[in-house]
């Protein structure tokens, strides 16, 4: 039976081997590997090939710290400070939402619809994941990104600087939704992953969501108010034939499509993520 501390965290001491931690720590092996790589400064290959490495005092303390944080529920991405998205390493802090695999669908759709040399803006960019991924894949595009949070934009700029090469770039603007854009700006495409969780949703008080910025998760009402703003004001910033694409909750596609149809968008539809959930909806303006 493993020895635990007073808070239930497994006791990690100098003299233990890396291999022994996989039977001691109640975490899934892939997650534990990521945390050990971070705590020890080992690469994935080194962690595997040095499984009999004996921990020093300093290493045992570092491992104990990250394990205690994770077992208290803190997201792995906030502990390591990194989350991969669209094949790129994004810095993340508690000031931004952690990029999630399902959001890659929004990037896929944007890349497929953005014309050569096109203009796209990501509203409410957070870590910059969507905008930076688009810019990385489409160096010909003109990419803008906005956020109301100055701290979020600092992180997004850092991610753009570290991920983008050879002339790829994102232009950042601070402000609330369309207020960040210059009047008269016109885009081929507007994309957004707005806060869409209903304020009464119990998931806000569970798991990783407890640690993420609340304002990036919920609009503090029914989860659809940000969609209303995006849909209502997009025509003033889209070119003729331009498109609006928005990520939303697992049960919101019908409501979002209705809003788009009511506002006279054309070709309104929803797209499913890899789990088969309608995750993104959008429409286009008349030509």
Q: Does residue 171 carry a pLDDT above 70?
A: yes
Confirm whether 236 is domain-assigned.
yes
- Based on the number of CB atoms within 10 Å of its own CB, is 223 exposed (0-12), middle (13-18) or buried (19 or more)? buried
Same domain, 112 and 65: no
Residues spanned by the domain of 68: 1-72
Same domain, 144 and 6: no
Chain segment 203-250, per-residue pLDDT in tens: 888 888 898 889 888 888 899 999 999 999 999 999 999 999 999 999
Same domain, 125 and 55: no
147 is an annotated ligand-binding site residue: yes
Residue with tokens 């092996």: 29
194 is an annotated ligand-binding site residue: yes
251 is an annotated ligand-binding site residue: no
The string of DSSP letters for 63-120 reads: HHHHHHHHHTT--HHHHHSEEEETTEEEE--TTSPPP-GGGHHHHHHHHHHPPTT-EE
Instruction: State the CATH number of the domain containing residue 103.
Output: 3.40.50.150
Position 208 scores a pLDDT of 82
Return mean pLDDT, the chain: 93
Chain segment 175-186, per-residue pLDDT in tens: 999 999 998 999
- The answer to pTM > 0.85 is yes
Which tokens hold the place of 75?
Answer: 């997201």
Confirm whether 87 is domain-assigned.
no
Confirm whether 83 is domain-assigned.
no
Position 215 scores a pLDDT of 87
Same domain, 118 and 11: no
80 is an annotated ligand-binding site residue: no
124 is an annotated ligand-binding site residue: yes
Split into its structural domains, the chain has a count of 2
221 is an annotated ligand-binding site residue: no
Same domain, 211 and 262: yes
The 3-state secondary structure of 169-199 reads CCEEEECCHHHHCCCCCCEEEEEECCCCECC
Cα–Cα distance for residue pair 155/176, rounded to 1 Å: 17
193 is an annotated ligand-binding site residue: yes
Confirm whether 86 is domain-assigned.
no
Same domain, 101 and 229: yes
Chain segment 82-94, per-residue pLDDT in tens: 999 999 999 999 9
Same domain, 142 and 247: yes
219 is an annotated ligand-binding site residue: no
User: Which of 72, 104, 131 is where one domain is finished?
Assistant: 72
Confirm whether 81 is domain-assigned.
no
Confirm whether 168 is domain-assigned.
yes
Same domain, 235 and 142: yes
Same domain, 103 and 234: yes
Which tokens hold the place of 204?
Answer: 């806000």
195 is an annotated ligand-binding site residue: yes
Same domain, 57 and 141: no
């Amino acid at each position: 039976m493993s020895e635990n501390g007073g808070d239930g965290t497994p006791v990690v001491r100098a003299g233990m081997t890396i291999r022994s931690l996989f039977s001691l720590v109640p975490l899934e092996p892939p997650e534990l590997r990521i945390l050990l790589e971070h705590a020890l400064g080992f690469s994935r290959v080194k962690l595997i090939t040095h499984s009999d490495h004996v921990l020093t005092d300093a290493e045992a303390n570092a491992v104990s710290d990250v394990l205690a944080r994770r077992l208290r529920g803190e997201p792995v991405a906030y502990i390591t400070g990194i989350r991969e998205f669209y094949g790129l390493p994004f810095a993340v802090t508690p000031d931004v939402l952690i990029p999630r695999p399902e959001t890659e669908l929004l990037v896929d759709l944007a890349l497929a619809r953005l014309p050569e040399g096109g203009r796209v803006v990501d509203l409410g960019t957070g870590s910059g994941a969507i905008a930076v991924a688009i810019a990385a894949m489409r160096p010909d595009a003109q990419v803008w990104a906005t956020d109301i949070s100055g701290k979020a934009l600092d992180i997004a700029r850092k991610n753009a600087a570290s991920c983008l090469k050879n002339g790829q770039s994102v232009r950042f603007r601070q402000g609330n939704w369309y207020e960040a854009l210059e009047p008269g700006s016109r885009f081929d495409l507007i994309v957004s992953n707005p806060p869409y969780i209903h304020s009464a949703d119990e998931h806000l008080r569970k798991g990783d969501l407890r640690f993420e910025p609340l304002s990036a998760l919920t609009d503090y009402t029914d989860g659809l108010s940000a969609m209303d703003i995006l849909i209502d004001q997009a025509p003033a910033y889209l070119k003729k034939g331009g498109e609006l694409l928005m990520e939303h909750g697992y049960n919101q596609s019908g409501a979002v499509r209705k809003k788009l149809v009511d506002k006279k968008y054309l070709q309104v539809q929803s797209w499913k993520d890899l789990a088969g959930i309608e995750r993104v909806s959008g429409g286009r303006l008349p030509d």
